[in-house]
Chain A
């Protein structure tokens, strides 16, 4: 669906995107993650034909982007991270304007607008002025705007930024719905736990370079070399910590109150051995559970956090 081949974007001496390559298959929901100034927005703008790359090629559905701008614009929908609205336009008129720009006939546009307002749960607001809507509503309206021409690829730059938790949940629900409709979605966000729930694939970018990409599970496996376990003991926390520290497979131990967290290298058999050893040494283990590696931890490990 989308292929980026060695994309570079330079602003004078500054390189915003450095030799970035990426492939997104049809129907994927691709999460684009990176610290501020990593080049996410620049990359998304290049894909959305709003910036021209210094070098490299982009193909959407095998169409070369820079030479087929009009054709490409009809199959992509773009939602920027920050956008304004027109004063004195009502919600339905706002969508009507963008459907006019997309060349949709008036009658068809009417039903499309009604369907989209249903999707983004704004049908009750259709006669209100856009300027009077809340931030979350404006974000949803902008999402509806990017869908007026029924694009195959959706490019969403921080669609949930500045939203309250309820609005974020609503946005997530809408995006899931769009995923079910078969839309290919490229989404950049800072809210990593939500991205890991939503996305099929993740790409981590830093200083304009792709440092990691793949399915969420692949990245988890690649980035985390050790397993994390949390155990609860009845007492003897210090003894347990001492025992665990003596084990050569254990790389990290931390104990407080009756809870101990540790990391070990190995498989499930090694885990059994560790627990067995604790029990044999009269440590009263109440429970133990593996700790899930989350995207935030991976992100912190993979990126250096320099701006």
Chain B
């Protein structure tokens, strides 16, 4: 049986103007970007002007990165009000007092956001198929990219749900989830650059000696979704979006950062979703769990 929360969310969401507007803007942005890059290449006054299938690589790159950014922008907005909105509407008690478990409620809210992402990915298929027809990309390439988007929709959706469960107001929850998203994308990259500069300055000054200075890859970067997508794009179109900024570390398999990034994203998502479920369960208090553990530890010591 379909999750009742998901069913209700889809029913109410699809009846508002918000969803078609989001979908329309999404198509408009992606196709606008596609046209811009395409025209830029096609109409260029250089020696090689005219249609070059190779230029579709640039379009693929631009569409892949922009789609990722759009998902990071849209998903927190759709999940940041999932629980706080119920509180604001005074429907929370009616929802939580039913037989449905709090984790099912949380998963219903998350999956409704995922459905929107899947819908956005589906509407972008016509644009992607042009790349498939003329750009030499395989359907596998697109499937891998879409699967990675879904992982990140779960990741950023969990952040939105987490802030929504812990904060009372939707406006505060939205702001906080965007701050976290911004930190995960820009903040982690910024710290990586700072750490890398510090690391190299220590090598240059002779404080540390390493055989392969390019092996530096800070853990914080695994929390950044672009660490994963950069690996996908490197493998698919041989283009590193971070260029010389970040190397792949010491991993013998260049795909490792992608796997670790996916693992970290899913692990963080699970933790956030479980914490959110505990938070909305009126019969469990997080404080009491810690108190209970403390008491257990003290009684063990005694």
Interface residues of A in 61-117 (CB under 8 A from B): 66, 69-70, 73-74, 78, 80, 82-89, 93, 97-98, 100-103
Contact of B91 among A50, A85, A100 (CB under 8 A): A85
| Bound-state Cα–Cα, A49 to B98, Å | 10
CB <8 Å contact, B95 and A101:
yes
Contact of B94 among A69, A70, A93, A145 (CB under 8 A): A145
Which residue of chain B lies nearest to A97 when distances are taken between CB atoms in the complex? B8
CB <8 Å contact, A83 and B93:
yes
Interface residues of B in 74-128 (CB under 8 A from A): 89-91, 93-101
| Bound-state Cα–Cα, A66 to B285, Å | 13
CB distance from A16 to the nearest CB of B (A): 15
| Bound-state Cα–Cα, A69 to B98, Å | 10
| Bound-state Cα–Cα, A296 to B5, Å | 44
Residues from chain B with a CB closer than 8 A to the CB of A87 are 12, 16
| Bound-state Cα–Cα, A51 to B285, Å | 10
Is the CB of B7 closer than 8 A to any CB of chain A? yes
Range of interface residues on B (Cβ < 8 Å): 20 to 34
CB <8 Å contact, A101 and B98:
yes
| Bound-state Cα–Cα, A281 to B5, Å | 79
Which residue of chain B lies nearest to A87 when distances are taken between CB atoms in the complex? B12
Is the CB of A125 closer than 8 A to any CB of chain B? no
Residues from chain B with a CB closer than 8 A to the CB of A142 are 94
Per-residue interface assignment for chain A, residues 132 to 158, with 1 indicating a CB less than 8 Å from any chain B CB and 0 otherwise? 000000000010010001000000000
CB <8 Å contact, B96 and A98:
no
Which residue of chain A lies nearest to B88 when distances are taken between CB atoms in the complex? A84
Which residue of chain A lies nearest to B96 when distances are taken between CB atoms in the complex? A50
CB <8 Å contact, B12 and A49:
no
Is the CB of A52 closer than 8 A to any CB of chain B? yes
Is the CB of A48 closer than 8 A to any CB of chain B? yes
CB <8 Å contact, B283 and A49:
yes
Is the CB of B32 closer than 8 A to any CB of chain A? no
From known contacts A86-B8, A88-B15, A97-B4, infer whether A52 and B282 are also in contact, taking CB-CB under 8 Å: yes
Is the CB of B48 closer than 8 A to any CB of chain A? no
Residues from chain B with a CB closer than 8 A to the CB of A93 are 11
CB distance from A73 to the nearest CB of B (A): 5
CB distance from A86 to the nearest CB of B (A): 6
CB <8 Å contact, A101 and B4:
yes
| Bound-state Cα–Cα, A48 to B98, Å | 10
| Bound-state Cα–Cα, A101 to B90, Å | 17
CB <8 Å contact, B12 and A88:
yes
Residues from chain A with a CB closer than 8 A to the CB of B11 are 88-89, 93
CB <8 Å contact, B12 and A83:
no
Per-residue interface assignment for chain A, residues 249 to 265, with 1 indicating a CB less than 8 Å from any chain B CB and 0 otherwise? 00000000000000000
Contact of B98 among A52, A73, A83, A88 (CB under 8 A): A73
| Bound-state Cα–Cα, A83 to B12, Å | 18
Which residue of chain B lies nearest to A102 when distances are taken between CB atoms in the complex? B99
CB distance from B286 to the nearest CB of A (A): 13
| Bound-state Cα–Cα, A69 to B101, Å | 10
CB <8 Å contact, B285 and A52:
yes
Contact of A97 among B7, B90, B99, B282 (CB under 8 A): B7
Residues from chain A with a CB closer than 8 A to the CB of B97 are 48-50, 73, 78
CB <8 Å contact, B90 and A82:
yes
Most A C-beta atoms less than 10 A away, residue of B16, B89, B91, B97: B97
CB <8 Å contact, A83 and B91:
yes
Having A88-B15, A102-B98, one finds 5 other A-B pairs with CB under 8 Å, namely A70-B101, A80-B94, A87-B16, A97-B8, A101-B5
Contact sample, A vs B, 22 pairs, CB 8 Å cutoff:
A49-B97, A49-B282, A49-B283, A50-B97, A52-B282, A69-B283, A74-B99, A78-B93, A80-B90, A82-B90, A83-B90, A83-B93, A84-B90, A85-B91, A93-B11, A97-B7, A100-B7, A100-B8, A101-B5, A101-B95, A101-B100, A145-B94
B residues adjacent to A (C-beta < 8 A):
1, 4-5, 7-8, 11-12, 15-16, 89-91, 93-101, 282-283, 285
